[in-house]
Amino acid sequence: MPLSCNPRYFIILYSKLILKIGKGAQVMISILTSLVVYSLGLPRWLMWPFYVIFLFFIFWNFYRIMRNNYIAAKTEEKAFEIFQLLLKRGFYVISDIVGERVKTRNEAWDSKHRYIEHIYFISKNCYKQISISVKPSQCGLYIKYELCREILGAIIAVAHRKNIFVWIDAEKRKDRNNVFHIAAYLKNKRCDNFGVALQANHSDARLFLEKYMKFGIPIRLVKGAYTDGDLRHDSLINEQFVNLMNYFYDPLLQSPIFKNVALGTHDKVLINLGVAWKIAKEFQFLYGVNSVLAEQLLNSGERVAIYVPWGKKSGAYLFRRFREGIRFRTFFLFIRNLWSGYRFRRRLARL
């Protein structure tokens, strides 16, 4: 076979060419060249690389749009520019350094140092309306329980000295007991600047709510994004969410030990129930999701916090959000909020 007709040679040569031009031009060239190959009746294998490259850049541009809408920034400095705009608008901010489960002790310790440096940065700039969110799996929960307890304890202790609140994110069903024991251990150490996310997609969520209430640990009530919950249908999860709200309403009304009670949901029906509460509470929204509703609540005088993910590991974060959705509506929620999220960022930029 002549060199010019060798498929491997052709693909390598074409790849070198497209890497020298812009992404938009790459897609156009792929389409036009495919049409030329088809119209001239050339061998069909010549079209394969164009199809692959075309699909790759469709996927890449879609991922880039999703990342820009739901991940605030890659660096801490850029993230704080977003924080400042949100604070100026009147929102509270929950800072989340994106990252999934760590696999080694060194990665867990690196995560600890990154969070502590972030806490010092927040304190240095006097951002009292910023809290942080930490996943136990980032602190070594899947390596060793004692390691996770030590690292989480160190992060919360530093945050306590700097008067910064810490939300411990939810993990999978099998990890709930470990997370509770860590929270109880930290509470016994007189750390009162942290709260825990409680997922409503578990039928036994009330048992864990009772345990946390016994220790006076603040709760962030969420529907739950993990697929291992035994409640799958929307109606069952919503019913459980309402039951949990009703269960701890009276203790919240009567006891001053519960602080920073939060409802982390984008469901308008559940939010309206929360608005009717005559107690201090906080509504929490994901960055880029239901921004119009968040602004409406803010304008009506409610306390609203925006959960803002940032960092370089955005791909893993987005993949987890889509993969762990309880239902297709979770994925659709992110898709249909692309336009409103874009307009929300434009409004922030004009402040």
3-class state of residue 99 by DSSP:
coil
- Does 214 lie in the same domain as 277? yes
Same domain, 26 and 154: no
Q: What percent of the chain has pLDDT over 70?
A: 75
Number of domains in the chain: 2
Residues 137, 85, single domain; the answer is yes
- End-to-end CA, the chain: 64
Read off the CATH number of the domain in which 298 is found.
Answer: 3.20.20.220
Q: Do residues 205 and 230 share a domain? A: yes
Q: Are 143 and 104 in contact (CB under 8 A)?
A: yes
Residue 190 has a pLDDT of 81
Residue 87 C-alpha from the chain's centroid: 19
Helix or strand holding residue 220 (H, E): strand 219-222
pLDDT digits (tens, 9 = 90+) for 35-78: 555 555 656 666 666 667 667 767 777 777 778 888 888 899 99
Q: Tell me the residue range of the domain where 18 lies.
A: 3-65
Single out the residue in 36, 65, 94 at which a domain terminates.
65
3-state secondary structure (DSSP) of residue 140: coil
Name the domain boundary from 50, 65, 80.
65
- Which amino acid would we find at residue 107? E
Domain identity same for 49 and 180? no
Q: pLDDT for 282-291, tens place per residue? A: 999 999 888 8
- Domain shared by 56 and 103, yes or no: no
Average pLDDT value for the chain? 81
For the chain, what is the radius of gyration of the CA atoms?
24
CA angle, 131 then 318 then 110, to 5°: 55
Q: For the chain, give me the number of helices (H) and strands (E)?
A: 15, 8
Structure-block tokens of residue 302: 């409610």
Cα(65)–Cα(60) distance, integer angstroms: 9
Query: pLDDT-derived band of residue 322, with 50, 70 and 90 as boundaries?
Result: low
* pLDDT at residue 93 tops 90: yes
Q: Are residues 89 and 22 in the same domain?
A: no
Q: How far apart are CA 270 and CA 248, in angstroms?
A: 15
Q: Examine the domain organization and report whether 96 and 37 are in the same domain.
A: no
Instruction: Please tell me the predicted confidence (pLDDT) of residue 29.
Output: 58
- If you write DSSP's letter for every residue of 100-114 in order, what string do you get? ----SHHHHHHHHHH
16, 45, 65 - which closes a domain: 65
In a shared domain, residues 163 and 102: yes
The tokens of 270 are what?
Answer: 């559940």
Give start and end residues of each alpha helix (H) in 91-175.
105-124, 145-161
Are 58 and 79 in a shared domain? no
Residues in the chain: 351
- pLDDT one-digit tens code per residue, 98-154: 877 788 999 999 999 999 999 999 998 767 789 999 999 999 999 999 999 999 999
